[in-house]
Chains A and B, each alone.
Chain A
Amino acid sequence: KQEVTQIPAALSVPEGENLVLNCSFTDSAIYNLQWFRQDPGKGLTSLLLIQSSQREQTSGRLNASLDKSSGRSTLYIAASQPGDSATYLCAVRGTGANNLFFGTGTRLTVIP
């Protein structure tokens, strides 16, 4: 069974710093990997989706990379802002599976 791990569980950084969030998964046979943002009391907002054939995806200040062979993905946030404070979740979809396997998330706090 696919296991998804996110470290650290929580992270505090001063405004303006660049930061990296990590996601690892145990089964490298994935179809795609998705990064989400979750604000308190809210649902999940999709940030980036990387297909298994891709190495990275970029959207604004966000860049996600995927190394399928090592079972790792990173989410890079440039020039962090207080509005980036949220929980960030990664989820992988296995080949042949129609659901996502989620990590437990990294809670990010950006201090003004």
Chain B
Amino acid sequence: NAGVTQTPKFRILKIGQSMTLQCTQDMNHNYMYWYRQDPGMGLKLIYYSVGAGITDKGEVPNGYNVSRSTTEDFPLRLELAAPSQTSVYFCASRVDSNQPQHFGDGTRLSIL
């Protein structure tokens, strides 16, 4: 029972590089979310999706892009990595708005 799977677990990037954080869930959940967690701060929503082909911005979307071509996958793309994007990134999903969110184990990203 995999749940929400995020890859990679750790990554170091140089300023200006690009990368994609992968997120996949095997629970057939419609809703998927990307958050970032900075030290001493609460989680902030980056982007979310209510179903395949539908995405929308959250609280802190600048510098990121997403796509949702399938129900299972919700990748997060960083085009030009900046030091301010050093953070822990969490992907989450839920079946509908009345149910709890299920989280992956996170991707720890450092940009130097």
Complex partner residue of B90 from A43, A49, A101, CB under 8 angstroms:
A43
Highest count of chain A CB atoms <10 Å: which of B33, B42, B106: B42
> With a CB–CB cut-off of 8 A, which chain B residues contact A49?
99-100
**Which of the 9-residue segments A14-22, A64-72, A102-110 touches chain B?**
A102-110
Q: Does B104 reach chain A (CB closer than 8 Å)?
A: yes
CA distance A109 to B44 in the complex (A): 25
B101→A89 contact, CB < 8 A: no
A100 within 8 A of B: yes
Q: A36 to chain B: which residues have CB within 8 Å?
A: 103
Check A45/B103 contact, CB under 8 A, given A32-B98, A51-B98, A99-B58: yes
Q: A34-B100, A98-B50, A99-B45 are in contact. Are A42 and B105 (CB under 8 A)?
A: yes
CA distance A103 to B87 in the complex (A): 17
Asked if A78 CB lies within 8 Å of chain B CBs, one says no
- Which residue in A32, A44, A45, A100 is a CB contact (below 8 Å) of B45? A100
B residues 24-68 near A (Cβ < 8 Å) are 31, 33, 40-45, 48, 50, 56, 58-59
Q: Is the pair B31, A89 in contact by a Cβ cutoff of 8 Å?
A: no
Which residues on the A side are within 8 Å of B42 (C-beta)? 4, 89, 91, 101-105
Return the chain B residue nearest A5 by Cβ: B42
Alpha-carbon distance between A103 and B44 when the two chains are bound, in angstroms: 10
CB-based nearest B residue for A98: B48
- Residues in chain B near residue A101, CB distance under 8 A: 42
Closest-by-CB residue of B relative to A4 is B42
Residues on A lying within 8 angstroms of B by beta carbon are 4, 31-32, 34, 36, 41-46, 49, 51, 89, 91, 93, 98-105
